Amino acid sequence: MDARRTVKTMPSSRALAAAALLAALALTACDDGPPSATVGNPAPTTALPRVDSPYPTYVALGDSYTAAPGVPQTEQETGCLRSNGNYASQVANQLKSAFVDVSCSGASTVSLVGAQHSADHVYPPQFAALSADTSLVTLGIGGNDLELFQTMVGTCGQLGLSDPDGSPCRDYMKDAGRKKDLLVERIDKIRGRITAALKGIHDRAPQARVMLVGYPQPLPGKGTCRILPLAKGDYPYVRDLVVRLNDAMRAAAKKAKADFIDVLKASRGHDICAGQDAWVNGVNTDLMRALAFHPFAEEQQAVADLIMKKLDLDH
């Protein structure tokens, strides 16, 4: 396929949306490779301890859906793009906990136990923030593993340019004589990775309550919208993949004896196409609200509320 010829025949808004999507996804690195720069400090976001807290020490682990770049003030020195208004910060403030946030845009489960690449630095594993004294841990991870989000949205968006009325991504992922859909296979593997990660948290922080935070649904329950660069027939396909990922996370949490925060269920009606009710940003990055295709403050507030409700400390 001649990509240049294809783009010329498509509406410019779809081509621009696809290009912007790929640019945003470039910030979400996939599985990290070997270290290539000097290892530095993780530069976590921290808060001072309060002795009257029900959870005196809280550690937040995760990727950009935990870091929440742009919600609203975001540190840029480390390249992790960690917000001071993300759900983890809100939970820590309500719990009055000593708080360490090592979430980082681009993180995968590999970043929990191995070197983490960000900007021009390589940082220690996120698990380095855990200790025997940790009393609460939240983890939001999995979408960057095995290039899942990058393929599911970025590749699907590009394929959609060639066949906007069909289902080119679904067809491609099931093609080549595969017994099983390629991305469904990846989600199955991610479930194992997340299970192992949760068990690793229990090993390093045996006294901690552990919570796995799911992902919101970025696609509408039915229909399509112009701001999402997907072929019409791929909307239900990608929507189902997000459901499968969250189901895999729920299963991993159950197996590893962790709580699961069902953000997917709470996000119904708050997809990218929901206008003022959207919890996830569309194609245009707003430096004071959210990176393209990343959560708004409303989503982060909702997640914080779900965590506090699960902790039964919301009143």
Instruction: List active site positions.
Output: 64, 294
Contacts of 232 (CB under 8 A, 6+ apart): 164, 165, 166, 167, 224
Which strands sit side by side in the sheet containing 136-140, from one edge to the other? 45-47, 98-101, 57-62, 136-140, 209-213, 259-261
Q: Which residue has the tokens 């990290």?
A: 32
Q: What single string gives the DSSP state of each residue in 206-258?
A: TT-EEEEE-----S-SSS--TTS---GGGHHHHHHHHHHHHHHHHHHHHHTT-
d(CA 287, CA 291): 7
Local structure of residue 152 (DSSP, 8 states): I
Q: Where are the alpha helices (DSSP H) in the chain?
A: 3-9, 12-25, 64-67, 87-95, 110-113, 148-149, 156-160, 168-173, 182-204, 235-255, 263-266, 297-311
Q: Centre a 10 Å sphere on the Cβ of residue 283 and count the other Cβ atoms it contains.
A: 20
H or E segment to which residue 62 belongs: strand 57-62
Residue 211 has which token pair?
A: 């919570």
